[in-house]
Amino acid sequence: MNGDKEKYGTGPWTGMRFSGSQGLKPNSIYTYGLVYNQVDVYYGFQLINSSVYSRLALNPDGVVQRLTWNYRTGDWNVYLSMPVDNCDIYGLCQGYGSCNIGNSPVCGCLDKFVPKYPRDWDNADWSNGCVRETPLVTSDCQRGDGFLKYPGKKLPDTRNSSYNGNLTLDDCHKVCLENCSCMAYANSDNRNGGTGCLLWFGELLDVRDLTENGQDLYIRLAASEISSTTPQSGTGKKNRGKVIVALPILAGILLLGLGVALYFWKKKKPRQQEEPLKWEGEQNAWILFREGRALELIDTVLSDSCYLFEVLRSIHIGLLCVQQSPEDRPSMSSVVMMLGGESTLPQPKEPGFFTKRNLFFEEFSSSNQTLASANAISITMLQAR
């Protein structure tokens, strides 16, 4: 504190250090730790070498210093000091802003967020922070929202948060998704691959980019934002591996079943005048995706048992595979990488099989209905690449 103004926040304890204390590392002078239980909450340290004198001091101006005694000079040396730079100033970039000391200016909005008042930001006034590019739909948050992974961050201020040390990251994701007030989650302990759960409610404050020892923060976004960027559910690599293997197998089974059904249907169906296919409504994935309504493709029975952002990514990749130009379509090896990777997907172009009604003929001819094909040919057989 500096008077009644907060000066510096260490960030939450991560099991090895405070999230925002970059200089706090294992060393040869002292060990340190945080005691947190139902009775006590305190930070402590113990000297490794009893011949060394060291103390932790908080100066009147709000600076925390680790001091060690120098026998030769008979004075205290500053071993560690916090805050270190401007990005350590508490809440400098305000809500949903992130500070990067390597940038000029240092403040910027988190991905998928924009300045609340852009003109103020042009004048280096960040006091009003950032807002979402796409607002959340609070009435349907469990079905319409997802989470995006923000790596390498100092975790936000925890005064509006809750903690559970027994939950996994997957559990943390589910709990946060079910609570419309939950805006973000992360592991509370980074040891042993990550354990425990931290949930944030309300605006995220005091975030900064870290070059080392940064944490993974998962922030709630609208489904339309998740489908157009890199999705991250908080599920482990093991689950993503299952998706990579299962989707190609499932696609093969579906294609085989479709081929057999089509064969018997054509064998039994009497020859008659060919009727145009109907592509309206939920059957047309391309139109629904383009209009931001891809979630309507999901069967309501299955929607509660799957991760919506993974389904949206699969639909996105599927549309990339059926683009009109073969040169635009990804190879199967690229598809597998996209299913299990975390790269941003390109926007799909119009599918090769996509057709539109010829409104001229529909309006002026009731007896001869025609279709205008994007390819000027009829597609009789689909071949996978």
Contact between residue 298 and residue 280 where contact means Cβ atoms under 8 Å apart: no
**The pLDDT of residue 190 is above 70:** yes
Handedness of CA 231, 234, 237, 238 (dihedral sign): negative
DSSP codes of every residue in 303-336: GGGS-HHHHHHHHHHHHHHTBSSGGGSPPHHHHH
Per-residue pLDDT, 363:
41
pLDDT reading at 107 higher than 90? yes
329 residue type, one letter: R
Which DSSP symbol is given to 8?
B
pLDDT of residue 163: 86
What is the rounded distance in angstroms from the CA atom of residue 178 to the CA atom of residue 174?
6
Its pTM surpasses 0.85: no
Per-residue pLDDT at 354: 54
User: Which residues have a Cβ under 8 Å from the Cβ of 121 and sit 6 or more positions away?
Assistant: 107, 115
3-class secondary-structure state, position 177: helix
For residue 385, pLDDT over 90 is answered with no
The per-residue pLDDT for range 112-146, each reduced to its tens digit, is: 999 999 999 988 999 999 999 988 876 667 677 88
* For residue 241, pLDDT beyond 50: no
Comparison of pLDDT for 304 and 127, the residue scoring more = 127
Is residue 84 predicted with pLDDT exceeding 50?
A: yes
Give the list of residues 6+ apart from residue 26 with CB closer than 8 angstroms, or none.
none
Residue 43 contacts by C-beta under 8 Å, 6 or more apart in sequence? 32, 33, 34, 35
Q: How many residues comprise the chain?
A: 385
Helix ranges restricted to H, the chain = 118-122, 141-144, 169-178, 223-227, 237-268, 285-290, 308-321, 332-340, 359-364
User: pLDDT at position 266, please?
Assistant: 58
Q: Are 295 and 285 in contact (CB under 8 A)?
A: no
Rounded Cα distance, 262 and 284, in Å: 19
Check: CB of residue 135 under 8 Å from CB of residue 222: yes
Most confident option among 186-200, 309-323, 345-359: 186-200
Which residue would you say has higher pLDDT here, 383 or 194? 194
**Which residue type does 215 have?**
Q
Domain boundaries defined on the chain: 30-83, 88-227, 271-373
CB atoms within 10 A of CB 336: 16
Is 126 buried (19+), middle (13-18) or exposed (0-12) by CB count in 10 A?
buried
Highest-confidence segment of 20-34, 87-101, 126-140, 288-302: 87-101
Average pLDDT of the chain is: 76
What pLDDT, on a 0 to 100 scale, did the predictor assign at position 377? 42
Q: Phi and psi dihedrals of 8, rounded to 5?
A: -155, 140
What pLDDT score was predicted for residue 373? 39
φ, ψ dihedrals at 367, nearest 5°: -95, -35
Kindly state the percentage of the chain with pLDDT values over 70. Answer: 70
Say if residue 63's pLDDT is above 60.
yes
State the pLDDT at residue 263: 58
Distances (CA, A) of 179 to 28, 37, 96: 44, 26, 19
